[in-house]
């Protein structure tokens, strides 16, 4: 986005840009206010005139850098800029046992996991479903915390040889060698509140070999060789149980969902801390595996994004290696239509709202896709506007090699192919 749109700020905040502040949407097109605590309370009272003025991009950046966004409220107006050339959603029949979860393979097929514990590959072009092996996870209790339910989830490494099957909002998982059709590792994320987060896991490529990053305790990530299970990040404890003085590497942080940047050079960690409040962090796997073995602890402790959320485990997606989009829940009138996300820059404190975006996020590097109860919205990131809404289609999975978003349905898969706009 080239400018800050119709953003105003109260004079108190402009005089003290290091203060906590609130982003208030007026419901009048793109108009919004940045307000101090006192003005935030005044804005809800009829007849109270706010002392605000339009601000420039430099003033907005200063507030982003020095202050702390403590909440978002108001009434969001979605800016519509429709296009008419998007392809339709299509249905692909999927014979066999109902599928619980799936993930993309680099050879353009899907890897499936079914209710009968079947791990299979499916080629949408031919309709052929081929069983690889049977895989089961240890039984766990679904604690149904804040509408999060114990859910199986598949991950695949970029080479396509290894996959991980885990319980999101649980503690257990396994790693599978898809070529040799065998389990190579068992995973345990620890027993301290795993119900609060997806299983922290991501595959990367390091020194031309697959590496799996996985949670081994609530406050600890490790990296391992998925072929042998060999630990690559041996170090001291991150949670001192001796009762002695804490070390500089002890970490009071619940690791959450891990999101790998498009080039694989950065990982976003969507975790939380007590009381509880969401805390977003990031680290660089190359530094971790080739230099600082305490990278994941040190980076979490020293980072301070200008935007944090009371909630976590809601919409988040990389756009490119420098930018990502993160949803923030409104403190009032939250609904599928009254949502907001922010475009953030990993190496600066600049944040820009995308009014109306919320749900599960995906991206093709140009657009933002958001899926929720309304359907699938396609967003023009530069304009902060919605290009299209595909009602009734709410995908959960993405296949970057096929340029598709997918939703499991009765007896098959609903797929939508996003257009190639790179030319």
Residues 6+ apart with CB under 8 A from 362: 317, 368, 369, 370, 371, 395, 398, 405
pLDDT of residue 337: 66
pLDDT of residue 334: 54
Residues 6+ apart with CB under 8 A from 347: 322
Where does a domain end: 20, 44, 75?
75
Calpha distance 222→212 (Å, rounded): 8
**Is there a single domain that holds both residue 63 and residue 121?**
no
**Is there a single domain that holds both residue 62 and residue 97?**
no
**Is there a single domain that holds both residue 267 and residue 292?**
yes
For the chain, what is the domain count? 2
- CA distances for 18 relative to 5, 10, 21, 50, angstroms: 22, 13, 9, 20
**Is there a single domain that holds both residue 60 and residue 164?**
no
176: closest CA among 158, 159, 162, 156?
162
**Is there a single domain that holds both residue 25 and residue 162?**
no
Does 22 map to a domain? yes
**Is there a single domain that holds both residue 64 and residue 14?**
yes
**CB-side neighbour CA atoms (13 Å) of 148:** 17
Please, are residues 122 and 129 in contact by the beta-carbon 8 Å criterion? yes
Does 422 map to a domain? no
Query: Quick count: other Cβ atoms within 10 Å of Cβ 118?
Result: 18
Calpha distance 216→199 (Å, rounded): 10
Does 85 map to a domain? no
**Is there a single domain that holds both residue 101 and residue 190?**
yes
Where the chain has pLDDT below 50, the residues are: 1-2
pTM of the model: 0.93
pLDDT of residue 86: 87
Segments forming the whole domain that contains residue 136: 90-231+250-417
Please, are residues 75 and 340 in contact by the beta-carbon 8 Å criterion? no
Calpha distance 253→271 (Å, rounded): 7
**Is there a single domain that holds both residue 43 and residue 111?**
no
Does 83 map to a domain? no
- pLDDT tens, position by position, 125-179: 999 999 999 999 999 999 999 999 999 999 999 999 999 999 999 999 999 999 9
Does 345 map to a domain? yes
- pLDDT tens, position by position, 351-364: 889 999 999 999 99
Where does a domain end: 52, 75, 98?
75
Query: Quick count: other Cβ atoms within 10 Å of Cβ 392?
Result: 12
Does 188 map to a domain? yes
**Is there a single domain that holds both residue 194 and residue 333?**
yes
**Is there a single domain that holds both residue 59 and residue 103?**
no
Does 2 map to a domain? no
């Amino acid at each position: 986005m080239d400018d800050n749109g119709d953003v105003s700020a109260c004079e108190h905040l402009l005089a003290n840009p290091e203060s906590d502040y609130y982003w208030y949407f007026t419901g009048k097109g793109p108009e919004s206010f940045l307000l101090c605590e006192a003005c935030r309370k005044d804005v809800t009272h009829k007849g109270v005139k706010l002392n605000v003025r339009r601000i420039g991009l430099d003033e907005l950046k200063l507030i982003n850098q020095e202050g702390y966004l403590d909440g978002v409220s108001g009434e969001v107006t979605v800016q519509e800029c429709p296009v008419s050339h998007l392809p339709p959603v299509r249905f692909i029949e999927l014979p066999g046992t109902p599928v619980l979860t799936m993930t993309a393979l680099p050879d353009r097929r899907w890897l499936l996991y079914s209710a009968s514990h079947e791990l299979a590959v499916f080629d949408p072009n031919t309709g052929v479903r081929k069983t690889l092996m049977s895989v089961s996870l240890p039984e766990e209790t679904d604690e149904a915390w804040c509408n999060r339910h114990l859910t199986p989830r598949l991950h695949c490494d970029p080479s396509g040889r290894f996959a991980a099957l885990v319980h999101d909002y649980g503690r257990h998982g396994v790693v599978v060698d898809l070529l040799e059709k065998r389990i190579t590792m068992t995973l345990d994320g620890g027993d301290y509140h795993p119900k609060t987060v997806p299983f922290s896991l991501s595959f990367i490529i390091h020194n031309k070999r697959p590496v799996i990053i996985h949670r081994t305790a609530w406050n600890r990530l490790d990296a391992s060789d998925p072929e042998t299970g060999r630990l690559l990040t041996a170090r001291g404890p991150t949670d001192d149980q001796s009762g002695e003085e804490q070390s500089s590497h002890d970490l009071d942080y619940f690791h959450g969902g891990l999101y790998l940047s498009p080039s694989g050079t950065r990982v976003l960690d969507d975790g939380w801390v007590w009381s509880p409040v969401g805390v977003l962090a990031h680290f660089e796997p190359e530094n971790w595996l080739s230099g600082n073995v305490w990278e994941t602890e040190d980076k979490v402790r020293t980072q301070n994004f200008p935007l944090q959320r009371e909630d976590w485990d809601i919409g988040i997606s990389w756009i490119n290696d420098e930018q990502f989009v993160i949803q923030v829940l409104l403190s009032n009138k939250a609904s599928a239509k009254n949502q907001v996300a922010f475009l953030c820059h990993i190496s600066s404190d600049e944040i820009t709202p995308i009014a109306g975006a919320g749900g599960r996020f995906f991206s093709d590097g140009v657009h933002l896709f958001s899926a929720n109860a309304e359907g699938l919205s396609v967003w023009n990131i530069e304009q902060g506007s919605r290009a299209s809404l595909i009602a009734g289609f709410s995908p959960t999975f993405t296949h970057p090699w096929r340029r598709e978003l997918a939703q499991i349905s009765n007896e098959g898969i609903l797929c939508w192919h996003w257009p190639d706009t790179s030319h």
